[in-house]
Amino acid sequence: MAELILKALKKVYTQAQSPAVDQLNLAVRDGEFIALLGPSGCGKSTTLRMIAGLESVTSGEIRIGNKLVNDLHPKDRGVGLAFENYALYPPLKVRDNLAFNLRAHGLAAKEINRRVDEIARTLQIQELLDLKPAALSSGQKQRVNMARAMVRRPSVLLLDEPLSHLDARLRVELRTEIKRLHAEQRFTTVIVTHDQLEAMALADRIAVMNEGVLQQFDTPLEVFNHPANEFVAGFLGE
Ligand code: ADP
Ligand code: MG
């Protein structure tokens, strides 16, 4: 676990007229759970992908646990990712999907099995371990996706709209699950969502973004009761 700091982070895609993310400053405390909230296209996923190292940074700094990670390979950043479209490998059983990254890191087989079993218990997916992804429901896939992100014991857990493809009932159920897991494991967590209720329900603090620019970063209560500007008021008030 670690503190995550973004300093004047900026992303300009080639051929884009305006930055996707502009001068973003955020300090996420060790163990804190924050949400990046805003409408589609406001730069949430770009921010997350830069933190993960899947997207280059135009300028600014990303620090994890006080270490500058701008130039580190994604696998050396200590981040765990569960992305909306981050597909499981279809030919591999759930167990091997979970073990894949640990194997790539050269962990001993015994330790890998121990960790996979432990995370499977935590996320209550033990009975899925010997199935292949095609046999899973979308809710089960999301659980496995999250297990895969957590099994590496990341310093920072990054979730990009992990609940967006689920029906309302499952979404509420998994929300509760995520909340419980966070209380238990205290991963420093950044969740991306365009759903203000989800952000309010999950996050210690919410970073509201619009057109690549941070509008407000505060507790759900403050953001809701004392919006910094009209955009925040409008977006939360929907
Ligand atoms: P969000 O996740 O908040 O919906 P994104 O971070 O995906 O927003 O996108 C922010 C902006 O950057 C949008 O205008 C989007 O069109 C643009 N964008 C995203 N990815 C790319 C890309 N790979 N190349 C060019 N433009 C992109
Ligand atoms: Mg997105």
DSSP 73-141: -GGGTTEEEEETT----TTS-HHHHHHHHHHHTT--HHHHHHHHHHHHHHTT-GGGTTS-GGGS-HHHH
| Predicted pLDDT of residue 228 | 97
Query: Is 13's C-beta closer than 6 angstroms to any atom of ligand 1?
Result: yes
CA 44 to centroid of ligand 1, rounded, Å: 8
Characterise 222 by phi-psi region: left (phi > 0), alpha (psi -120 to 50), beta (else): alpha
Query: Is 21's C-beta closer than 6 angstroms to any atom of ligand 1?
Result: no
In the chain, DSSP assigns E strands to 4-11, 21-28, 33-37, 59-64, 67-68, 79-83, 156-160, 188-193, 205-210, 213-218
Q: Cβ-count burial of 152 within 10 angstroms (0-12 exposed, 13-18 middle, 19+ buried)?
A: buried
Of 9, 11, 12, 13, best ligand 1 pocket probe by most atoms within 8 Å of the beta carbon:
13
CA 199 to centroid of ligand 1, rounded, Å: 20
Ligand 1 atom nearest to CA at 36: 3
Nearest CA to ligand 1 atom 1: 41
Nearest CA to ligand 1 atom 12: 20
User: What 8-state DSSP symbol labels residue 2?
Assistant: -
- pLDDT by position in tens, the chain (length 238): 799 999 999 999 998 889 999 999 999 999 999 999 999 999 999 999 999 999 999 999 999 998 999 999 998 999 998 876 667 899 999 999 999 989 988 899 999 999 999 899 888 899 999 999 999 988 888 889 989 998 988 999 999 998 877 788 888 888 888 898 899 889 999 999 999 999 999 999 999 999 999 999 999 999 999 999 999 999 998 5
Model pTM score: 0.92
Distance CA 49, CA 84 (A): 12
Ligand 1 atom nearest to CA at 21: 10
Query: Is 100's C-beta closer than 6 angstroms to any atom of ligand 1?
Result: no
| Angstrom distances, CA of residue 3 to CA of 33, 43, 99, 114, 194 | 11, 21, 26, 27, 24
CA 189 to centroid of ligand 2, rounded, Å: 16
| Predicted pLDDT of residue 143 | 87
Amino acid identity of 92? Answer: L
| Predicted pLDDT of residue 85 | 62
Ligand 1 atom nearest to CA at 39: 3
Distance CA 49, CA 58 (A): 13
Give the count of beta carbons closer than 10 Å to the beta carbon of residue 134: 9
